[in-house]
Structure 1
Amino acid sequence: MTHGDYQIDTVETGRLGLDGGAMFGIVPKPLWEKRIAPDDQNRIPLAMRCLLLRGHGRTVLVDTGVGAKGDDKFERIYAVDHQHSALGGSLAALGVEPGDVTDVVLTHLHFDHAGGATERGPDGALRTAFPNAAYHVQRAHWEWAHESVREQASFLAENMDPIEASGQLVLADGEVSPFPGVSYVLVHGHTRAQQLVLVEGGAAEGGAAAPLLFAADLLPTAAHVPLPWVMAYDIEPLQTLREKERVLTRAADEGWTVVFEHDAEVAAARIKRTEKGFRAADARAAF
């Protein structure tokens, strides 16, 4: 789809499974399993959906999925499925090769978002997967990822060290605009200094088109739109609750399209305010 000054495509990078109880926190299983059914290990199927922006002479990839560096044990634990799709193949289907990517924006450095940012070369050595790209990360998050004990199982050195060693790392400070018509929305409840990506709508017939938000792990699925549906993975759930209310209020008032990174069925939706709170509406399985 064309949105503002950019051609925007979603990029499917595979599926994974995470514990449904952890994904929905205090929400009782009889409620959440009606939305996303678990497997026999209580894992729910999740997408690893990234975003590709092409415009202003740039090819920008937002997040990279889990990548292909995990061993058999890792892939069994997290039910990684690259038969469904893989980052390289999905980019190639859009006519994009790794060397074409000018920028990689990592919303945060958890392994299911940053794993595809690096790879093993033919000699087995780790390297960046996009040799010509600048890698954009919030400075506060980069520092947090290297000091957090609470989240150390989610921050893997193999996903971070090659970026730093390459000289391709670009650290951002706050809600800046890294490219024309693109800005960051910072949230801190899921992990410290997660940067959501907001794309302006630009001019349209009858007025300006509404923005598009890549919601990452503030709203991992459409089922997480209701305010109390917060992940147990979040380091500060009450902060997430406040951040959801702030972002969803803007999304509903301004008619944003919200892209869900982890919803296996719903790629994007609008946000509506109802008597029972916020809900996803006008759901789309793909752009």
Structure 2
Amino acid sequence: MDGLDRITPQLPRPRVAVEEYHDDYQRAAAGTRGRLGARITELKLAADRVLRTPVIGPRGQFMTVHEAKHRAEMLTEQIDTDELRGSLRHYRVSRSAKALTLFGLVVVDFPVMLWLASSVFNVDWTNPLGLPLVISFVISVLATGGAATALYHLGHNQRENKDDRRRLTWRTLSRGSKLSMLAAVVLVGLIAAVMFVRVYTEGELSGLDSLAFLLAVLVAFVMLISAALVFWTAFRDGSLEQDDLRCYSAMIMRCESLRREYEVRVGELTAQLQRLEGEYPFRATVDT
């Protein structure tokens, strides 16, 4: 056996990398490096999964965030194309116009409606506190709010029939859309008619019939304009494509914000890991 050992060449032994720890601090640093690396990997996977998160679309459809981004890009391209060729149907109503509409409801419609209701329920303004005033106030709020809400939704639903000049063409409307328009016209006309009759009836008591008639026409016209303004503000405010794009954008912004949080955290942990490796570098020796 000794002779064989002398004539048999010695095979090289496996080279094994062994981490060399000089003290407990390096051992703790190595464990911290492992935990940081695992956390970084976990956060990167979470950031990648954000685009695959299931969400609900504007019409109740299920999709991923990636699909929502694709649809938002398509809608943006469609809206930009329409506006480049001169279409106005996607334009939004300015905040000042919306504020003017709300101002008309609060300052014009509600006080006139309260005066009308108080006349019907015989509110004594020398001593107004009591049940008749409460009933008049509640009815005024319900009538003003209900009429405004109905006109707003009727106008909002008609946006699908809006042409590139932000107008309605009667002959192109469906039967349901025509009925909706008739309902809006009847509601606006009814509001104006009620105000005309009430003001004219009250004015006749003064004996100035001509002045009462003109005043009744003025009040009815103001109420007509105020009610029509609610309808047309809702009708001219954007388009269905704008609504869908706004819904998609809100979903995408929430998910992108979450994704950025993951990425920022990954950057912070990566900086910690690099700083730790600079202070306690990983060193390996080769055992021969």
Judging by fraction of residues, say which structure has more helix. 2
Give the TM-score normalised by structure 2: 0.20
* Larger RCO (alpha carbons 8 Å, 6+ apart): 2
Judging by fraction of residues, say which structure has more strand. 1
Considering only CA atoms, is the larger Rg found in Structure 1 or Structure 2?
2
